[in-house]
Structure 1
């Protein structure tokens, strides 16, 4: 039987969403092959472009390698190539290097900046619509500020330190918010006074953030002004020159940096694909996301023009939620066609809007009724971003996001400021690590050999204080009574008997233990095993090998010992010490410095294959 070929053009939010849905549905169908074509080997997380452009995160933080996203999907073939032509009659997609036959095609090539033919924007302005754009802008700002630091002409210096963002929608407000936060770092690195910088947000409309309510708009405006941003409303950019911009009312602002975020249109390449176009170059789709007048071709993402009947016939918005939902609709209807089922009409379901203004403040309007601002709004935005990685099945990038947004941050540019930053010297943990590991090692050796008058756990005596294992004549009950006058404390005090965390096991835990250790023979084996575990933990912590796992295990042991009625409050310091040492303590004079990167590399290659900058046609799993 011939394979059914589904080709997806574009690996943005829409293309990835559609491909994931198709891959999941046809994972057991060897007769269906999905080919995902993009000119990059990675997905760009478009909603974080401003963070790269303004130096908050490193450039690779918003690159999500397609092999990492799809390597476990055996029916997905990733191709890095540039699409040149689509022939609907022959059902062919022609790229620079290859021709792909398709039975079903999804075009999800996204959008690009719309400059509205304003003079000078393309030549002298900076757009923010790709990973390359963000990097170019980042380098320009750093280079311009460095040059300004040694510029003697005051007027020229002022223009070089003036930054203008045109367009006060989501991208523009988020961009200016991160720029104003970057100011202090730029000033310090170049020996400048932060007061020399100036920021302008220019909006042709009478309000900023027009898609949210007045409440969010006014809060955002108030926060920006409080942080020194000059907001110009009802007055757009009329002309751009190398060292200045001119507004529609004739106002001139000397600047070397104009960032254009004032409009978006469909990717211009789709103009040649023979599909009906609407305003801003968007391709017309019907309610099933089928391209108007073309068979077996579906549309998704920012290129789609479809007027939603239940939303006053407004066209689907060019936002992430819409991109994913149109991608899902397109994929669902291809699935319906192949499976011979009824197609699904597209119904947009937009849960709200969240805008970050720098790393610590944001505004949000959710489900047409919930207003959020400040820390809570930013926390919700991070949670939504994390949820995205779960929807595309990438735990790898879920963890990476947490790292670059909360742990691998500088200058406190996070909602948690510097409190979670990992940029600290773990060498200071070395004495504590060696001491803590030695304690566990010594306790294990003491149990193994019966040192210092203790009872050996390798003998024939049951040491575990479980009632079902004890000889009734052994005096265990009396031993409990002897410590009945124990005094609570977190350290030993002369003349006081330390108190146990629990005097006796809870009933539920007792049942678990009795099931696991039902008799003396099992108890003797368990004693020997636990002794070896303690010795292994001690050695691992001392030499700094698998320190996260070893210390996490000690926390689990403390919980177990406490529930078993075998642990004292005075030793509860074990837990905070273990948690402290879990923060990469094995990287300083420890084997984790060598072993963990090696394991990560080997596991990554086994799970994801070879990560490359270019993926050729042909499934190589």
Structure 2
């Protein structure tokens, strides 16, 4: 039986969405064969290209191999090739290396940057529309800053360290956001001041982020200004030169880096297809996403390539939601035609818009009702991205996304400000650290409260507390002397009873690392070694010193507990707890069941305070301050009298 061939050109958001839907809905139809053609063997998460260009993540973080996406889809064949032409009458797709006949064709070749004919953009500017573009920008910026750091001429240096983004749409603002976050690392690696790096956004319109409402856009603008970005609005660029840009006002801004994000047009390859186009060369489609004039040939257009006016003079926006929506519409109508059921018209569902400005700040508008900014906007963006992997049924790349965005990150460039980074912190020890600190807190508070009521502070410091005049240390030389016959007799009786109790306890006490019903825990040492007893006798020769030390030790334990809980000086605090446990053991005041204190403290000494703890900021500050004091501040160039 003859196969029904469906060819999808382009593995962008629209192409992948359409292919996934076709594959799923037609998997029981063995007569259907789906062919996905793209010039690359991978799908690029275009909305995250700025992260690669800005040095936040590596290419593999936003590059998803098509084989991994479609490995379980037996009705899909993948072709890595470049489409050169479409024979509409004979229904054949021509590529550089082959020909593919089709019964149904979906064109989802996407868009490309639109320079609006501005002189010099192609020759001297950078665009951000492909992985190649992102890597070129990244390498150029890295190289330019390194060369600028060694440049002695201040004017040339300033020009090299001026980075300009043209366009204040989502791509432009997200790109400048990455440069904001990257600036400190670039400066540190090249031993220059971050203040030497100038970031600038040039926009022809009087406002920025025009897809958002003015309040949300205002928050984004305020954030950019706080971070030192120069915003030039109502300032069209009329020419891009090798080392400068020329504004409509005649002003010339020296720079070696212009990133052009000012507009999008349809993929220029489609100009050869001979199909009706509209603004920005987008191919005109009807309400079913069929190419105008080629409905009979079953040619569909989706994604950034399609021009369909949802409303008068308003085409579908060139965003991911529209790409997926148009793709699903086209796929559904192909399925309907194969199954001979009713077709569906396109109805855009736009749930909101989000823009990230670096890794830690963003703004979002959802369902025209919910407006978020900062942490919650970025959290929502990650949720939406994770939902995308769920939609395309890729658990593998969902996991990879989580690892790249939350764990395999450097320089604190994620929503958790580096706390979850597996490179610099020990995230999973945080619950243990808090628990361990809480144990010490409880023990210290018991010594403060004594027999009082926890909820009634006025009952604290009484009987049973270490803040009374009763010595808590069980050392013989610290016990009160007894005088008088009655006292002597009572002492003798008490000693006899104590001995009997000790003997009874000794018989019942058993070694164990956990409590068991009916057993009494065993102390690590039954009595102090003679050498340790002499040390303790030297430290606490009398009752007065002992009372002072037990109060001091209680406060000291309390401070250690709080330090461990909040992650402050955790290496030192946990080291001290090991010393304290050792002293308690030698004093006959520590049980085997609690010996885990030592091993937990050792584990927590491995940087646990740098994850959700104060050590994340305190320790680097101390290291930096001491380093500058001891070594001096490094520079990129050492000159006379510097």
* TM-score normalised by length of structure 2: 0.67
- CA distance in structure 2 between the partners assigned to 1:425 and 1:179 by the alignment: 24
Q: 1:56 to 1:296 in 2, by over 3 A?
A: same
Indicate the residue corresponding to 2:410 in structure 1. Answer: 410
CA contact (8 A) 2:352 2:368 kept: yes
Deviation at 1:236, TM superposition (A): 1.4
| Matched position secondary structure for 1:64 | strand
Indicate the residue corresponding to 2:8 in structure 1. Answer: 8
| Matched position secondary structure for 1:163 | strand
Deviation at 1:271, TM superposition (A): 1.1
Deviation at 1:370, TM superposition (A): 1.2
Indicate the residue corresponding to 1:530 in structure 2. Answer: none
Indicate the residue corresponding to 1:53 in structure 2. Answer: 53
CA contact (8 A) 2:419 2:425 kept: no
- CA distance in structure 2 between the partners assigned to 1:225 and 1:128 by the alignment: 23
Indicate the residue corresponding to 2:275 in structure 1. Answer: 275
- CA distance in structure 1 between the partners assigned to 2:372 and 2:24 by the alignment: 35
Q: For residues 468-520 of structure 1, give each alpha carbon's deviation from its aligned partner in whole angstroms, at most 9, with x where no partner exists.
A: xxxxxxxxxxxxxxxxxxxxxx9979x9969xxxxxxxxxxxxxxxxxxxxxx
Counting only pairs closer than 5 Å after superposition, residues 504-543 of structure 1 correspond to structure 2 as none
Indicate the residue corresponding to 2:100 in structure 1. Answer: 100
Deviation at 1:59, TM superposition (A): 1.4
Counting only pairs closer than 5 Å after superposition, residues 241-260 of structure 1 correspond to structure 2 as 241-260=241-260
- CA distance in structure 1 between the partners assigned to 2:147 and 2:515 by the alignment: 63
Indicate the residue corresponding to 1:537 in structure 2. Answer: none
| Matched position secondary structure for 2:414 | coil
Deviation at 1:424, TM superposition (A): 4.4
- CA distance in structure 2 between the partners assigned to 1:156 and 1:49 by the alignment: 29
| Matched position secondary structure for 2:184 | helix
- CA distance in structure 2 between the partners assigned to 1:254 and 1:217 by the alignment: 28
| Matched position secondary structure for 1:178 | helix
Q: For residues 529-582 of structure 1, give each alpha carbon's deviation from its aligned partner in whole angstroms, at most 9, with x where no partner exists.
A: xxxxxxxxxxxxxxxxxxxxxxxxxxxxxxxxxxxxxxxxx79989x97xx99x
Indicate the residue corresponding to 1:423 in structure 2. Answer: 423
1:377 aligns with 2:377: yes
Indicate the residue corresponding to 2:624 in structure 1. Answer: none
CA contact (8 A) 2:107 2:300 kept: yes
Indicate the residue corresponding to 1:327 in structure 2. Answer: 327
Indicate the residue corresponding to 1:25 in structure 2. Answer: 25
- CA distance in structure 1 between the partners assigned to 2:261 and 2:54 by the alignment: 14
Q: For residues 16-48 of structure 1, give each alpha carbon's deviation from its aligned partner in whole angstroms, at most 9, with x where no partner exists.
A: 000000000111211100000000000010001
- CA distance in structure 2 between the partners assigned to 1:206 and 1:572 by the alignment: 68
- CA distance in structure 2 between the partners assigned to 1:191 and 1:49 by the alignment: 27
The runs of at least 4 consecutive aligned structure 1 residues that moved more than 6 Å come to: 490-493, 495-498, 570-574
Indicate the residue corresponding to 1:301 in structure 2. Answer: 303
Q: 1:411 to 1:491 in 2, by over 3 A?
A: farther
| Matched position secondary structure for 1:86 | strand
- CA distance in structure 2 between the partners assigned to 1:297 and 1:497 by the alignment: 83
| Matched position secondary structure for 2:368 | coil
Indicate the residue corresponding to 1:527 in structure 2. Answer: none
Kindly indicate whether structure 1 or structure 2 has the higher relative contact order, using CA contacts under 8 Å at least 6 residues apart.
1
Q: For residues 182-210 of structure 1, give each alpha carbon's deviation from its aligned partner in whole angstroms, at most 9, with x where no partner exists.
A: 00000010111111000110110001001
| Matched position secondary structure for 1:396 | helix
Deviation at 1:218, TM superposition (A): 0.7
Indicate the residue corresponding to 1:560 in structure 2. Answer: none
Unaligned runs of 5+ in 2: 433-512, 522-592, 607-642
Q: For residues 69-109 of structure 1, give each alpha carbon's deviation from its aligned partner in whole angstroms, at most 9, with x where no partner exists.
A: 00100000000000011001110001011110100000000
Q: 1:408 to 1:242 in 2, by over 3 A?
A: same
- CA distance in structure 2 between the partners assigned to 1:45 and 1:248 by the alignment: 35
Counting only pairs closer than 5 Å after superposition, residues 312-323 of structure 1 correspond to structure 2 as 312-323=312-323
- CA distance in structure 2 between the partners assigned to 1:128 and 1:284 by the alignment: 25
Deviation at 1:238, TM superposition (A): 1.0
Q: For residues 289-336 of structure 1, give each alpha carbon's deviation from its aligned partner in whole angstroms, at most 9, with x where no partner exists.
A: 000001210010001000014xx5510000000000000000000000
Indicate the residue corresponding to 2:364 in structure 1. Answer: 364
Indicate the residue corresponding to 1:341 in structure 2. Answer: 341
Indicate the residue corresponding to 2:350 in structure 1. Answer: 350
CA contact (8 A) 2:360 2:415 kept: yes
CA contact (8 A) 2:333 2:344 kept: yes
Counting only pairs closer than 5 Å after superposition, residues 568-583 of structure 1 correspond to structure 2 as none
1:156 aligns with 2:156: yes
- CA distance in structure 1 between the partners assigned to 2:112 and 2:175 by the alignment: 17
Deviation at 1:149, TM superposition (A): 1.0
Q: 1:339 to 1:244 in 2, by over 3 A?
A: same
Q: 1:102 to 1:251 in 2, by over 3 A?
A: same
Q: 1:497 to 1:249 in 2, by over 3 A?
A: farther
Unaligned runs of 5+ in 1: 433-489, 499-569, 584-621
Counting only pairs closer than 5 Å after superposition, residues 23-172 of structure 1 correspond to structure 2 as 23-172=23-172
Indicate the residue corresponding to 1:456 in structure 2. Answer: none
Q: 1:573 to 1:221 in 2, by over 3 A?
A: farther
- CA distance in structure 1 between the partners assigned to 2:308 and 2:79 by the alignment: 29
Deviation at 1:249, TM superposition (A): 1.0
CA contact (8 A) 2:92 2:99 kept: yes
- CA distance in structure 2 between the partners assigned to 1:200 and 1:409 by the alignment: 26
Indicate the residue corresponding to 1:597 in structure 2. Answer: none
Indicate the residue corresponding to 1:525 in structure 2. Answer: none
- CA distance in structure 1 between the partners assigned to 2:405 and 2:170 by the alignment: 19
| Matched position secondary structure for 1:210 | coil
| Matched position secondary structure for 1:378 | helix
Q: 1:571 to 1:43 in 2, by over 3 A?
A: farther
- CA distance in structure 2 between the partners assigned to 1:73 and 1:342 by the alignment: 26
Indicate the residue corresponding to 1:226 in structure 2. Answer: 226
- CA distance in structure 2 between the partners assigned to 1:284 and 1:418 by the alignment: 46
Indicate the residue corresponding to 2:266 in structure 1. Answer: 266
Q: For residues 203-251 of structure 1, give each alpha carbon's deviation from its aligned partner in whole angstroms, at most 9, with x where no partner exists.
A: 1000100110011111001000100100010111111111110111112
CA contact (8 A) 2:12 2:43 kept: yes
- CA distance in structure 2 between the partners assigned to 1:302 and 1:421 by the alignment: 36
CA contact (8 A) 2:4 2:33 kept: yes
Deviation at 1:425, TM superposition (A): 8.3
- CA distance in structure 1 between the partners assigned to 2:57 and 2:392 by the alignment: 22
1:183 aligns with 2:199: no
- CA distance in structure 1 between the partners assigned to 2:118 and 2:356 by the alignment: 28
Indicate the residue corresponding to 2:558 in structure 1. Answer: none
Q: 1:203 to 1:491 in 2, by over 3 A?
A: farther
Q: CA RMSD in A?
A: 2.5
- CA distance in structure 2 between the partners assigned to 1:405 and 1:399 by the alignment: 10
Counting only pairs closer than 5 Å after superposition, residues 212-223 of structure 1 correspond to structure 2 as 212-223=212-223
- CA distance in structure 1 between the partners assigned to 2:244 and 2:596 by the alignment: 62
- CA distance in structure 1 between the partners assigned to 2:217 and 2:211 by the alignment: 9
- CA distance in structure 2 between the partners assigned to 1:278 and 1:286 by the alignment: 13
Q: 1:239 to 1:380 in 2, by over 3 A?
A: same
